[in-house]
Amino acid sequence: MLLTVGSKAPDFTLPDQNGTLHSLSEYQGQRVILYFYPRDNTPGCTKQACGFAELNPQIQEKGAVVLGVSKDSVASHKKFEEKFGLPFTLLSDPELSAIQAYGVWQEKKMCGKVGMGVVRTTYLIGADGTIEAVCGNVKAAQNPQQMLDML
């Protein structure tokens, strides 16, 4: 189940595309766009990441930071970052610690098969660490602009 607006965002510590550890608590005092996506280098995830990359200067102007999370490896994230010139942090969560804490590991139907996976979800976390907005089942291409508008 997704977290609700007004609740405290769970802290986590995960490695980025360079293997550097990041904790949500490090971003206290800044708004965070925390987006969970299924996989690197897939069409929807690429559209979403490139949209956030394009809008990153405006997002930063508004005092916010973008963090992308998937269960892909650090190496996969590095290739994804380099291929598309992504200017923000991609966090690797193969153990699903943050993915489960944020309620985005859910049953999904793909090509008639049912299995568990990451449901594309974006959270806007306030400077005080509380959740300001929850966008579940987001449209990958529209999500970056939607989040910028919320800032």
List, by residue number, the catalytic residues: 45
Measure the CA–CA gap between 129 and 31, rounded to whole angstroms. 8
- Which residues make beta-bridge pairs with 32? 65, 125
The tokens of 111 are what? 């090509």
Pick from 95, 56, 91, 97: which is nearest to 77 by CA? Answer: 91
The Cα-based distances of 68 to 36, 109, 115 in angstroms read 6, 23, 22
